[in-house]
C-alpha cells in the first residue's frame, strides 16, 4: 500500500503555481502582475480600492509602522509594503491562511511584512506596542465582542482603518439568504459603551476549507450607528466613511477611517 506521505510530494519542475496549489480551491485573492495568470482566487485583494482610499485619507503609510488584523492571504499586506510602510505586523489566527500569507511573502518577495500566527484579540490585550496606523479590514463582524476590539485598538493607535459588515434590520430581514443567520438584538455593554449585538451564525460557510471568518461558529454584528458611536466614545475625533455597500451579498458594508 502506498504511504500517504507521498501525496505531499510535488513531482513537477518547481513553480509558483505549485506553491499556490498546496491550497488549491482555498484561495480568495487574485494575484497581482506578474502573477495574474496564476490560478488562485477571484477577489482583487492585492489591488483593493478600499486600501487605496484608506491610504489617501489617513495620509499614507510611508515610513510608518502598521498593524494589520487578519491578513488572510497577504493582499493588503502587499499593498501596505508597496505604500512604503516601514514595517507591517500582520496577525492571522487561521493556520491555513497564515501559511498562505507565507507563500505570498515568498512569491512576491515581501521584505517588511511580518506575519504572526495567533489571535489578535489576545495580542491587543497583552501587548503595549503602538502603531502609526492599524488596519482592521474584514474583522470587526467576526468578533464575539466587537467593542472590545475597538477599545483595544484605541489603545494601540491614533489612526485606524476599518472595513466591516454591519447589521441593518430592514436590509437583513428582507434578504432571504442572510435572514436565517441572525438572531434578534440583545443589549450589551463593553468598556462602558451601551450597544446592541446581533448574533450571526456562519452555518454552511464553515464547510469550505478556505473559510475566512472568526474562530467560533458565531460572531456578533453591530449596527452602523453603534459602530460610529463606539469610535467617538473611544476618543476618535475625526471619522470619515466611504464605500457604502448596503446591497453587498454578504451583508451591508462600509469603510471607516478614524483618527484621534
- Residue 138 engages ligand SAM in binding (rule: CB under 6 A): yes
- CB of 69 vs ligand SAM, minimal distance in Å: 6
Q: Of residues 176-205, which lie at the interface with ligand SAM (CB under 6 A)?
A: none
Q: What DSSP designation does 110 have?
A: -
* Contacts by residues 225-230 (CB-CB < 8 Å, ≥ 24 positions apart): 226/195, 226/196, 227/140, 227/146, 227/150, 227/162, 227/164, 227/166, 227/256, 228/256, 229/193, 229/195, 230/146, 230/147, 230/150, 230/193, 230/195
Q: Cβ contacts of residue 235 below 8 Å, gap of 6+?
A: 154, 260
- Residue 41 engages ligand SAM in binding (rule: CB under 6 A): no
Residue whose CB is less far from ligand SAM, 119 or 158: 119
The piece of 105-113, 152-160, 207-215, 233-241 that touches ligand SAM (CB under 6 A) is 207-215
- Residue 91 engages ligand SAM in binding (rule: CB under 6 A): yes
- Residue 76 engages ligand SAM in binding (rule: CB under 6 A): yes
- Residue 166 engages ligand SAM in binding (rule: CB under 6 A): no
- CB of 95 vs ligand SAM, minimal distance in Å: 9
- Residue 163 engages ligand SAM in binding (rule: CB under 6 A): yes
Residue whose CB is less far from ligand SAM, 101 or 172: 101
CA 195 – CA 186 distance, rounded (Å): 8
Closest CA to 214 of 149, 117, 122, 141: 141
- CB of 47 vs ligand SAM, minimal distance in Å: 12
The piece of 11-19, 67-75, 105-113, 191-199 that touches ligand SAM (CB under 6 A) is 67-75
- Residue 139 engages ligand SAM in binding (rule: CB under 6 A): yes
Residue 157 CA: distances (Å) to CA of 42, 69, 114, 135, 150: 32, 13, 18, 10, 11
CA torsion angle for 203, 207, 209, 210 (degrees, to 10)? -40
CA 104 – CA 79 distance, rounded (Å): 12
- Residue 256 engages ligand SAM in binding (rule: CB under 6 A): no
- CB of 119 vs ligand SAM, minimal distance in Å: 4
Q: Of residues 6-25, which lie at the interface with ligand SAM (CB under 6 A)?
A: none
- Residue 65 engages ligand SAM in binding (rule: CB under 6 A): no
Angle subtended by helix axes 95-108 and 75-82, to nearest 10: 40
Residue whose CB is less far from ligand SAM, 61 or 93: 93
Closest CA to 148 of 57, 220, 208, 80: 220
Residue whose CB is less far from ligand SAM, 121 or 234: 121
Residue 18 CA: distances (Å) to CA of 55, 64, 222: 33, 34, 41
Residue whose CB is less far from ligand SAM, 120 or 182: 120
Give contact residues for ligand SAM (rule: CB under 6 A): 45, 70-72, 76, 91-94, 97, 119-121, 137-139, 142, 163, 212, 214-215
Amino acid at each position: 500500500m502506498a504511504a500517504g506521505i507521498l501525496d505531499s510530494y510535488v513531482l513537477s519542475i518547481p513553480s509558483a503555481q505549485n506553491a499556490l496549489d498546496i491550497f488549491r480551491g482555498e484561495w480568495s485573492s487574485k494575484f497581482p502582475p506578474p502573477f495574474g495568470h496564476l490560478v488562485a482566487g477571484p477577489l482583487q485583494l492585492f489591488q483593493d480600492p478600499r486600501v487605496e482610499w484608506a491610504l489617501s485619507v489617513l495620509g499614507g503609510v510611508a515610513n510608518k509602522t502598521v498593524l494589520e488584523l487578519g491578513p488572510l492571504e497577504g493582499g493588503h499586506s502587499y499593498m501596505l509594503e508597496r505604500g512604503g510602510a516601514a514595517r507591517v505586523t500582520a496577525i492571522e489566527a487561521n493556520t491555513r491562511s497564515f501559511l498562505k500569507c507565507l507563500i505570498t511573502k515568498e512569491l512576491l518577495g515581501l521584505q517588511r511584512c511580518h506575519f504572526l500566527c495567533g489571535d489578535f484579540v489576545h495580542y491587543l490585550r497583552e501587548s503595549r506596542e503602538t502603531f502609526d496606523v492599524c488596519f482592521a479590514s474584514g474583522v470587526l463582524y467576526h468578533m464575539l465582542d466587537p467593542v472590545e476590539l475597538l477599545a483595544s485598538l484605541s489603545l494601540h493607535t491614533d489612526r485606524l482603518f476599518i472595513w466591516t459588515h454591519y447589521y441593518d434590520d430592514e436590509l437583513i430581514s428582507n434578504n432571504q439568504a442572510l435572514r436565517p443567520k441572525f438572531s434578534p438584538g440583545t443589549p450589551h455593554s463593553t468598556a462602558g459603551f451601551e450597544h446592541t449585538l446581533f448574533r450571526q451564525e456562519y452555518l454552511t460557510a464553515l464547510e469550505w476549507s478556505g473559510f475566512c471568518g472568526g474562530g467560533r461558529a458565531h460572531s456578533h454584528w453591530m449596527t452602523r450607528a453603534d459602530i460610529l458611536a463606539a469610535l467617538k466614545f473611544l476618543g476618535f475625533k475625526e471619522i470619515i466613511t466611504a464605500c457604502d455597500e448596503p446591497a453587498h451579498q454578504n451583508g451591508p458594508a462600509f469603510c471607516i477611517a478614524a483618527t484621534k
